[in-house]
Amino acid sequence: MPHHLPALATRAAVVAATAAAATFVGVLPATAAAAPAAPEVATVTPVAKSIPAPASPAFVAPAAAARSSAIQHAMDKLGSPYRYGATGPSSFDCSGLVKWAYDKAGVELPRTSRAMSKVGTAVSRDELRPGDLVFFYKPVSHVGIYIGDGKIVHASNRKSPVKVSDMSKMKYNSARRI
């Protein structure tokens, strides 16, 4: 084995761990991220000939990152046709789009809008954050993903494809944070 390979493997592991930590800290609230900065490391000294595999291969994404990912997946489906009971990837109903987008982000949700309205944490309309699930009508019969600025991405109805809508034009019921 060439002499420089252990040093390269160690450097790659340090870079990967630093990038993962920076990503995680980037999604924490400001008060949690206010910890003092770690001192800069000038050199990396190899301590082992190989890097062991992590004990757990599963990585659980922070909630904010999962919500952001779900928004992006749903936005990627703008223009896809509405079809009642469809869960993607080419056509959707409202809860099918939300479930599909969150599944792609690594979060499992129930299948229907009414069942979704019971998971996560309730949030008031004035506390909405991008990625929150927003429910409409009484009883709950429609769901979309809040994207900010009073708008949701959703699969509206058989006359409209997946689109972004102003939620003030719909009969708001409640919202949940996943």
- pLDDT computed for residue 62 by the predictor: 61
| Residues forming a β-bridge with 175 | 134
Catalytic residue among 3, 4, 73, 154: 154
Q: Give, in order, the Cα–Cα distances in Å from 132 to each of 9, 20, 49, 156.
A: 40, 24, 46, 17
| 68-88 per-position pLDDT tens digit | 999 999 999 999 999 999 999
Distance CA 10, CA 127 (A): 44
- pLDDT computed for residue 48 by the predictor: 42
Contact 51, 9 (CB under 8 A): yes
> Looking at the chain, which residues constitute the CATH 3.90.1720.10 domain(s)?
63-177
Region at 13 (left for phi over 0; alpha for psi -120 to 50; beta for the rest): alpha
Which helix (H) or strand (E) segment is 121 a member of? strand 121-122
- pLDDT computed for residue 170 by the predictor: 95
Q: Give the closest residue to 48 by CA, choosing from 106, 99, 9, 102.
A: 9
- Asked about 142 being catalytic, the answer comes back as yes
Positions of the chain with pLDDT lower than 70, given as ranges: 1-62
| 10-21 per-position pLDDT tens digit | 444 434 444 444
**pTM, 2 dp:** 0.66
In angstroms and rounded to an integer, the radius of gyration of the C-alpha atoms of the chain is 21
- pLDDT computed for residue 173 by the predictor: 98
- Length of the chain as a residue count: 178
Sign of CA dihedral 97, 103, 104, 107: positive
| 39-48 per-position pLDDT tens digit | 444 444 444 4
Which helix (H) or strand (E) segment is 104 a member of? helix 94-104
Contact 72, 83 (CB under 8 A): no
**CATH homologous superfamily for the domain 63-177:** endopeptidase domain like (from Nostoc punctiforme) (3.90.1720.10)
Catalytic residue among 3, 4, 73, 94: 94
Q: Give the closest residue to 161 by CA, choosing from 103, 76, 100, 104.
A: 76
Catalytic residue among 3, 4, 73, 142: 142
- pLDDT computed for residue 134 by the predictor: 98
Omega before residue 62 within 30° of 0, cis: no
Which helix (H) or strand (E) segment is 24 a member of? helix 5-26
